[in-house]
Amino acid sequence: MNATWSDNQTRIEAAKELLAQAVDSLVGSENLEIALRVYGHQSPITATFQDCNDTKLEVPFGKDNFSRVKGMIKTIKAKGTTPIARSLEAAAEDFPDMNSRNIIILITDGLEACDNDPCVIAKKLHDKGVVVTPFVIGLGLDLSYLEQFKCIGSYSEAESKSAFKNALKSVVNKALVNTTVEVDLKDITGKPTETDVTLFFYKAGTNQLKYTMQHTINRYGNPDTLILDPSIKYDLIVNTLPRREVYDITIKKNTHNTIPVDAPQGYIRCRLNNATRSYQIESRVTLENNPLTINTQQINATDKYIVGRYTLEVLTLPRLYFTVQVNQSSVTNIDFEAPGLFTYKSNNTVTGQIFVQNSQGKWDWVCNLDPLTLSGQWNLQPGHYKVSYRQKNIKSSIYSYEQDFRILSNKTTSINL
């Protein structure tokens, strides 16, 4: 640690300077306590002796001990050996509460000098629930050296003071600062049980997409914990149907943030109740009294929607319309009859239209005949129909004809024009 950086500042002095700045950045953090353990600073190493017990908790955990930690940092001198394993094991006993989120940041420029395998100690720490995040400061260290730290946790390599500063800031933000977020997608009872939907986090007021995450309920039955940069505000888009939006979200540093979103959901499923074969039928789904399409749903698919009232336009011929109430966690089934097949042939090209008789006895347009072909076919819903037509090359309305026909589910109706 007494080796110098390119600016003639020793590694130990650079480490002390940057650690002091990191401590300053933590002042005022809620639910955060820090401690300082130092090794290799009490007993000088000689050609015949190294003190492998030279590790000491200089500042125990406590509230508002930041000045004390900074004061101790100033006094540290690098003069001893590198007992990493023993220091890690001792550090596990430093924490006053094993139920807290306990993290160790290890800063070293040397490899283990006393014990054979710090990985053994690391496993003991992990078994106790201690998260160890080593931070390696090294100049000219080969990768084989760095690989030793994989068994302990993640590691970063710094080859200069600026690299050290950036890496330390990253470690503090991701591990020590403990700024966490959960998105509570609340059901109709206000419980955060909804999940399995994509979350978009935009920088507030912009189209800069910062994070894309799939909402998850973790193995403990709670919304999963997210790590977001607390330095900016966010607009959250929850991609339900229809989507939910929360704007101008502030992430409070050094604490657990909860973003509540009302997102109670249920299901819609469209079914043919008597089909003898498969059909490709889509339904256009809109909110009641709002013409904007929010989904096009396939027959027999079960799609999820926010609780409320919807209008379904089933893209059959003729169109079918349903008003649907979606309820929490339940499936609303829309059942209708399977279509029948209508076919026609003509000796000459014809122009014409097909109509269906509605419930009031009047005729509604269904579709047009193709004036360039001699035949055609459609899947039509069961009902009473009429086709009105004339030969295309005869330019007189008195040569108009019509034929009535009936369509039955799963049956074929054929006529000659």
Please, are residues 386 and 404 in contact by the beta-carbon 8 Å criterion? yes
Does residue 3 lie within any of the structural domains? no
Interatomic CA distance for residues 161 and 165, integer angstroms:
6
Give the chain's length: 417
Q: What percent of the chain has pLDDT over 90?
A: 58
Residue 238 falls inside a structural domain:
yes
Sign of CA dihedral 123, 127, 128, 133: positive
Are 116 and 230 part of one and the same domain?
Answer: no
- pLDDT for 28 equals 80
d(CA 109, CA 135): 9
Whether 60 and 111 map to the same domain: the answer is yes
* Residue bearing the bigger pLDDT, 19 or 263: 263
End position of a domain, from candidates 176, 211, 239:
176
- Are 172 and 26 in a shared domain? yes
Neighbours of 373 (CB within 10 A): 12
- In this predicted structure, the answer to whether residue 110 has a pLDDT above a threshold of 80 is no
> Taking all residues of the chain, what is their mean pLDDT, rounded to a whole number?
87
DSSP letters, 103-134, are EEEEEESS---SSS-HHHHHHHHHHTT-EEEE
Q: Which domain holds residue 220?
A: 180-262
Mark whether 169 and 24 lie in a shared domain.
Answer: yes
Give the domain-ending residue among 336, 364, 383: 336
C-beta separation of 357 from 387 below 8 A: no
Number of domains in the chain: 4
Classify residue 378: in a domain, yes or no: yes
- Please, what is the Cα angle at 28 between 26 and 34, to 5 degrees? 50
DSSP character for 226? B
Residue 150 sits in the same domain as residue 40: yes
Same domain, 15 and 134: yes
Q: What is the mean pLDDT of residues 155-165?
A: 72
Mean pLDDT to the nearest integer, 80-109 = 81
Residue 156 and residue 23 in one domain: yes
Contact (Cβ atoms closer than 8 angstroms) between residue 294 and residue 284: no
Residue 29 has pLDDT above 70, yes or no: yes
Q: Is the dihedral of CA 343, 347, 349, 353 positive or negative?
A: negative
What CATH number is attached to the domain comprising 168?
3.40.50.410
Domain with residue 361: its CATH number is 2.60.40.180
Q: Domain holding 311: CATH number?
A: 2.60.40.1120
Pair 109, 54 in one domain: yes
Phi, psi (deg, nearest 5) at residue 329: 60, 10
What residue ranges in 189-319 does DSSP mark as E strands? Answer: 198-203, 209-214, 234-238, 244-249, 256-262, 265-272, 282-287, 293-298, 302-306, 308-314
Q: Within a domain: residue 1? A: no
Per-residue pLDDT at 199: 98
Has residue 199 been placed in a domain?
A: yes
pLDDT, one tens digit per residue, over 384-396 is: 999 999 999 998 9
Find where tokens 């125990």 sit: 60
Among residues 243, 262, 281, the one where a domain terminates is: 262
Q: Is the pTM of this model over 0.85?
A: no
Residue 123 sits in the same domain as residue 163: yes
In a domain, 186, yes or no: yes
Q: Are residues 253 and 111 in the same domain?
A: no
pLDDT, tens only, 247-296: 999 999 878 899 999 999 999 999 998 999 999 999 999 999 999 999 99
Residue 180 has pLDDT above 90, yes or no: no
Regarding whether 27 and 120 lie in a shared domain, the answer is yes
Q: For residue 94, is it within any domain?
A: yes
**Residue 5 resides in a domain:** no
| 367 and 300 both lie in a single domain | no
Residue 337: partners with Cβ closer than 8 Å, 6 or more residues away = 272, 273, 274, 381, 382, 409
